[in-house]
Each structure stands twice: as structure tokens, then as C-alpha cells.
Amino acid sequence: MSGHVTDRLALAAAEALDPGEQRRVDAHLRECPDCAAQAEQWRRLGDGLRDLPTPVPSPGLLARTRATIERRQAEREEQTWNRAALGFLIVFGWTLTGVAWLLLELLVGELALRFERPLGPTIIWFGAYLVAGWVAAAAATVLLGRRTHEEGRLA
């Protein structure tokens, strides 16, 4: 009884077995009338399913599906553009900060020599300005990251 192939009969009826497995099932069916009867039932069921008409979706369903696909693709493209723009802005901000720092160092050194007085308060305000800019950029990045994460969850 352990040689029965009942677990393979549906696949055999659907012609989904590889040739070696199909030969093993066919050999068993020639020797086992119980499995042969079950195989015949599966074959008739498969034939009946093949005879059913193929459903045709309505034009409205096709139009809605296409519109949904196009909308989601546009959203993905927009998200990609937003990420690229955000990356550019971050790199631009850091570059601008570095250049501004170098210019301040140059100006502070030159101004200190010309006016012969300390520019400590100017440097402190510039530092505060830079830190505030970094905090604002970090906050914007976190907010945009959360929004992107939520959009990804909803899509």
C-alpha cells in the first residue's frame, strides 16, 4: 500500500509532472485499479475545467487597473525624484557650510588684522547659525524619512 501515488494524481491529470515521475505514475496506474479510478476522476475534472469559458474582464475593470498601475508607477518615480533631490540638498548644504566656514576664516583673519580687535562674538554667532542650520536639516531629513516610510507602508 505504500507505493500508491494518490498525492501525484492531480498533478498527473494537469500534466504537471516531469517525464520520469509521469512514467512512475503510469506504471502504478496499470497495476492499481483504485489509483486508476481516482486518476480517471482527476482527468475528467481537468477536462471539465478546460472546457469552461475563459472569463473576460470588463473594460471598466481594465481601465481602473491600468489607471491604478500608472498612478503607482508615477508615485514611485516621484519618490525616487524626491530622494535624489533630498540627497542633492544635503550635499549642497554641507558644501555650502564648508565654503562659508573657509570664507569666514579668511575674513576673520583679515578683519582681525585690519581692525586690530577680536571677532569672537562674530565667530560665536556664525557657529550658532551653522548649528541651527544643521539641526533644521536633520529635522527635515527625519520628517521626510518618516513620510517616505509611511508612504511605502500605504502603497
Rg (CA), the chain: 36
Q: What is the pTM of this model?
A: 0.39
* Rounded Cα–Cα distance for residues 110 and 25 (Å): 93
Alpha carbon 154 to its chain centroid, in Å, reads: 12
* Rounded Cα–Cα distance for residues 13 and 41 (Å): 9
* Rounded Cα–Cα distance for residues 147 and 135 (Å): 18
What are the residue boundaries of the structural domains of the chain, listed by start? 6-51, 72-154
Residues 13, 17, 22, 28, CA torsion sign: negative
Q: What is the pLDDT along the chain (155 residues), one digit of tens a residue?
A: 457 888 888 888 888 889 999 999 999 999 999 889 999 999 999 888 888 888 888 999 999 999 999 999 988 888 888 888 878 877 887 788 777 777 777 776 666 666 666 666 767 777 787 788 778 878 877 877 777 777 666 55
